[in-house]
Amino acid sequence: MRLLAFAGLLALAACESERILPVDVLWMDWPAEVAANESFRTRLVVSQPCAVIRSFAPSPTSDASAVTFAPYFVAGNDVIYCGTDPVVSEVFVFGSLDTAGIAPGLFAPSDRTYEMRAAGGFSCPACNTAPWTTFGLISVRPTPLPPSAVRNAAGQAIFQRDSLGCTRIRPSGSYGPGAAIVVENPPDSTEQFSGFVRGYIHEPAAPVCGEARAFHFIGRY
């Protein structure tokens, strides 16, 4: 009996030493189309708070009209240094996490579309369906589909043009090798700029700036 009581106290202490930190989605890309009732992989780049992180959950859900990601970190209550001051912060962005979330299969007795939504309303006020941001659409077919190399994409990003005139887009918070993707139809700008954009990633008929994979720009919001 004492052992059970002690175990309960330990569980309570562990629970009180953790906190849930919801975070924004900075960038998302996903298959342009999927078969009904089949789960699919969605890439997520999320802000990461200044905290001792214990775990991460992409937290996807679906309803009759949309797939929604409400990601969060489970963090400890430890006091850590963020910059120069020791704080326990829930809003200070310490970095980012480039990860994946598996979206649930979607019901589609006939061809239809669903919205792809996530937390991140600060990034695109025009895209808000409060409290969510609509990143774009996904097509769902009732029959099996061959694998598609086309992925819809949207989020905060930076456009950069190099000395050879090639423009690349880098999703905000994504810094690893290959993070920047060449743009096949860059917006009319010779300067670096950033903003919330929509487009799709695919393999064009001919290489763009020597690369087989490219981002097709649809719009800035």
Say if strands 112-118 and 93-103 run parallel, antiparallel, or are unpaired.
unpaired
pLDDT digits 0-9 by tens, 104-119: 999 999 999 999 999 8
What's the average model confidence in pLDDT over 197-210?
96
pLDDT digits 0-9 by tens, 148-196: 789 999 999 999 888 888 999 999 888 877 889 999 999 876 567 788 9
Q: How confident is the model at residue 96 (pLDDT cuts 50, 70, 90)?
A: confident
In this predicted structure, the answer to whether residue 34 has a pLDDT above a threshold of 90 is yes
In this predicted structure, the answer to whether residue 90 has a pLDDT above a threshold of 50 is no
In this predicted structure, the answer to whether residue 40 has a pLDDT above a threshold of 90 is yes
Q: Residue 113 is which amino acid? A: T
Domain boundaries, the chain: 19-77+88-145, 153-220
What's the average model confidence in pLDDT over 8-23?
63
Q: How high is the pLDDT of residue 12? A: 39
Alpha-carbon span 150 to 33, nearest angstrom: 8
The answer to whether the beta carbons of residues 113 and 65 sit under 8 Å apart is: no
For the domain bounded by 19-77+88-145, which CATH number is listed? 2.60.40
